[in-house]
A = this chain, B = another copy of it.
């Protein structure tokens, strides 16, 4: 044991998202929630593959995505580690991502017969359950 964080990721075959994407999203959520703090060591490619009963290349692909996102960092021969929180994207790119996410979200919920306040509250509750980890102020980091 060198401090490897055990992940509680679940792979759902019925999900429309591919397996590697489910891993990326899962780890991204763990980091956002704080379950994976900066410096935490991720399970090895082969270890997580065995745990999830999938191919190692699939995990490697997910880890490649996370590395490209800047969320984790690879140290040759050691493993993957969660990076320190920082400004990963430009303000313009952040705004673009937010707009896209909001647009996609609205497209999904506008179809439902829910009150606007009900939708807002659902989002608020979900954000609150992150434990304020997403409540970072956007001062010059």
Residues in chain A within 8 A of chain B (CB atoms): 25, 28-29, 32, 69, 71, 85, 87-89, 94, 97-116, 118-120, 122-124, 126-128, 130, 132-138, 141
Contacts and interface: CB of A to CB of B under 8 A. Distances in A.
Contacts of A94: 112-114
Interface of A is mostly: helix
A107 B138 contact: no
Contacts of A29: 106-107, 110
Contacts of A99: 122
Given A113-B136, A136-B115, A130 B106 contact: yes
A32 B114 CA distance: 12
Nearest to A105: B105
